């Protein structure tokens, strides 16, 4: 008899469900599913002992009343959390999720420009599709889809193939990327393109080969390999983590390396072998449009019947689908302060009644490594703490004297020096508060000093006219600062933002888009007169 009971248990348990002999079929609609490894391990342990039986397959031997009551109470307890390493999708569940998701994706996928580029039947078609997928996936990291569309179209128009991109300069790439943020992504795209072209120009087709390209990690490699070359591999981004965490009600910290590894394993179980790229896109599409972070639309979700988080929410009013994945407390951003000086060098007369179009502006190139690597910005000085106007001006004066040999008391005349206002720019780990000033100078007997090449070996800089500003790879912070110059210097403001998505608004209505804090800069003085040095 024990052998028969064990055999019955193993067969049914391996099929993905646990028989409840004292329950009606109606009560078996929501069953806890287990991974095959977990099930096989449990069944083997039971067979080995020959004595231990499932709790619900009861002996006919009577028990004391107290023990029966305790057992009933145990059965009514909420299900215990299962270790993420023991979770998995059973065969029937996997097949249904694949079918329902792909059917939903075929009907509801968004019309995006990188999806319109077909692989075709030839090698060139696959190369074009792989390149487009690569560019789009890199742009989409940490950036909204609607923002990426225009950038992607401009990028592909200028560099339609990987060979075209490989011939570009870092300045051109930064110019095209300006405003997207996380500029290291653009540099890696260029470096990766150069490496592929140098090695023969054949686009890598497998994850293992793609991972050798600079800047391509597990996610990007999986996306390119599955979408373009049909390799059966998963992709895991924030959307996939959210969907899988809710399907299995996973409460483990999604930022821990062990948890991330298991999300990749679970996603790998689901990938459809016949349509791996479409399935991966469907999983990400579901997370982006239906299974969203704060407002999931479970009523139209194609896989809601397999969602453990939704099942728990229906059983317990205190539980919510949005409880998964677990919210991780973000580390506090470091506060930094800087003084920024928009320095314009004038030529010609000693007085001006309006801004001259032939002025030249100082730009400094940031180091090739670190934050905003290789981008151009107006001269700035990091301040240790929040500082008053006099302290900020002294720091700028010392920087200009040391870096450009510009002594505001001896080598040049100050035409205008105006405090423009403040601007807060938020990075992933830094909250930078910038104090912006406009400084208009005229050199004394050294009018050509800034037209040559920079002498500094540690800092690259150049002086350019206002027209050239529009073609520079400037940081979004510089472009936002330019908005504040509208009332003070319309020539430079229009030059900097004309290629940007940042709208020009009147100074009295200027708003910091990052912090939504109104900025009220002082009114400019007009006409502008020569100030004593």
Active-site pick, 93, 127, 137, 231: 137
Where in the sequence is the domain holding 448, given as residue range(s)? Answer: 340-349+357-494
pLDDT for the residue numbered 136: 97
The candidate with the shortest Cα–Cα distance to 290, out of 281, 282, 280, 301, is 301
Q: 19-28, 464-473, 507-516 — which is least confidently predicted? A: 507-516
- pLDDT, greater one: 250 or 68: 250
Reading the block at residue 193, the tokens are: 């393109």
Residue 49 has pLDDT above 90, yes or no: no
Q: 127-141, 257-271, 497-511 — which is least confidently predicted? A: 497-511
Is 50 within a domain?
A: no
Q: How many domains does the chain have?
A: 1
Chain centroid, CA 502 distance in Å: 20
Beta bridge partners of 443: 412
| Model confidence, pTM | 0.70
Please compute Rg for the chain using Cα positions.
31
pLDDT for the residue numbered 485: 63
CB neighbour class for 344 (10 Å; exposed up to 12, middle 13-18, buried from 19): buried
Residues 6+ apart with CB under 8 A from 357: 465, 466, 491
Q: What is the mean pLDDT of residues 225-237?
A: 97
pLDDT for the residue numbered 155: 97
pLDDT for the residue numbered 329: 84
Q: 170-179, 228-237, 383-392 — which is least confidently predicted? A: 170-179
Is 479 within a domain?
A: yes
CB neighbour class for 62 (10 Å; exposed up to 12, middle 13-18, buried from 19): exposed
Q: 158-167, 328-337, 364-373, 435-444 — which is least confidently predicted? A: 364-373
pLDDT for the residue numbered 370: 75
Is 418 within a domain?
A: yes
- pLDDT, greater one: 9 or 481: 481
Residue 84 has pLDDT above 70, yes or no: no
> Cα–Cα distance between 515 and 4 in angstroms, integer?
68
Cβ atoms within 10 Å, residue 293: 13
Strands 460-465 and 430-443: unpaired
Is 106 within a domain?
A: no
pLDDT for the residue numbered 114: 96
pLDDT for the residue numbered 358: 65
- pLDDT, greater one: 228 or 445: 228
Q: What is the mean pLDDT of residues 181-197?
A: 93
Is 373 within a domain?
A: yes
Is 511 within a domain?
A: no
Q: What is the mean pLDDT of residues 342-369?
A: 72
CATH code, domain with 485: 3.90.79.10
What letter does residue 518 receive in the DSSP assignment?
A: B
Is 140 within a domain?
A: no
Average pLDDT, the chain: 77
> Cα–Cα distance between 227 and 137 in angstroms, integer?
11
Is 429 within a domain?
A: yes
Three-point CA angle 441, 447, 448, nearest 5°: 125
Does 75 participate in catalysis according to the annotation?
A: no
Q: How far is CA 507 from CA 213, 447, 510, in A?
A: 46, 32, 5
């Amino acid at each position: 008899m024990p052998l028969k009971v064990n055999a019955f248990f193993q067969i049914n348990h391996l099929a993905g469900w646990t028989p409840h002999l004292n329950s009606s079929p109606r009560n078996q609609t929501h069953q806890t599913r287990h991974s095959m490894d977990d099930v096989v391990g449990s069944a083997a342990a039971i067979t080995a002992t020959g004595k231990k039986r499932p709790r619900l397959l009861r002996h006919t031997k009577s028990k004391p009343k107290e023990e029966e009551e305790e057992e009933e109470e145990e059965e009514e307890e909420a299900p215990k959390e299962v270790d993420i390493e023991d979770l998995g999708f059973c065969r029937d569940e996997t097949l249904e999720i694949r079918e329902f998701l792909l059917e939903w994706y075929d009907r509801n996928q968004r019309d995006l420009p990188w999806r319109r580029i077909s692989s075709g039947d030839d090698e060139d078609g696959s190369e074009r599709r792989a390149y487009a997928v690569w560019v789009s996936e890199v742009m989409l990291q940490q950036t909204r889809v609607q923002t990426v569309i225009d950038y992607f179209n401009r990028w592909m128009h200028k560099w339609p193939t990987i060979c075209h991109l490989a011939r570009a300069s870092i300045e051109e790439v930064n110019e095209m990327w300006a405003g997207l943020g996380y500029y290291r992504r653009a540099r890696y795209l260029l470096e990766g393109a150069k490496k592929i072209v140098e090695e023969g120009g054949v686009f890598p087709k497998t994850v293992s080969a793609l991972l050798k390209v600079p800047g391509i990690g597990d996610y990007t490699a999986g996306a390119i390999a599955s979408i373009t070359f049909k390799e059966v591999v998963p992709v895991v981004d924030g959307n996939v983590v959210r969907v899988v965490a809710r399907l299995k009600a996973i409460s483990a910290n999604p930022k821990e390396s062990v948890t991330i590894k298991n999300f990749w394993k679970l996603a790998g179980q689901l990938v459809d072998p016949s349509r791996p790229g479409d399935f991966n896109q469907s999983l990400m599409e579901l997370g982006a449009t239906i299974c969203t972070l704060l407002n999931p639309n479970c009523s139209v979700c194609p896989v809601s019947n397999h969602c453990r988080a939704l099942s728990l929410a229906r059983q317990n009013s205190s539980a919510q689908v949005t409880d998964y994945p677990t919210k991780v407390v973000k580390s506090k951003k470091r506060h930094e302060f800087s003084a920024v000086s928009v320095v314009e060098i004038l030529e010609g007369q000693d007085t001006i009644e309006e801004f001259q179009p032939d002025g030249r502006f100082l730009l400094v190139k940031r180091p090739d490594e670190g934050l905003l690597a290789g981008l151009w910005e107006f001269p700035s000085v990091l301040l240790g703490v929040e500082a008053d106007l006099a302290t900020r001006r002294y720091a700028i004066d010392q920087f200009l004297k040391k870096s450009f040999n510009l002594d505001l008391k001896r080598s040049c005349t100050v035409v205008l020096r105006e405090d423009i206002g403040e601007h807060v720019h938020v990075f992933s780990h830094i909250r930078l508060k910038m104090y912006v000033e406009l400084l208009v100078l005229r050199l004394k007997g050294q009018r050509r000093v800034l037209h040559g090449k920079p002498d500094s070996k540690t800092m690259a800089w150049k002086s350019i006219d206002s027209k050239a500003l529009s073609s520079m790879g400037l940081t979004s912070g510089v472009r936002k600062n330019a908005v504040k110059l509208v009332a003070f210097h319309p020539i430079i403001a229009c030059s900097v933002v004309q290629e940007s998505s940042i709208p020009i608004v009147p100074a009295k209505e200027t708003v910091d888009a990052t912090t939504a804090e109104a900025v009220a800069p002082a009114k400019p003085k007009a006409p502008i007169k020569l100030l004593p040095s």
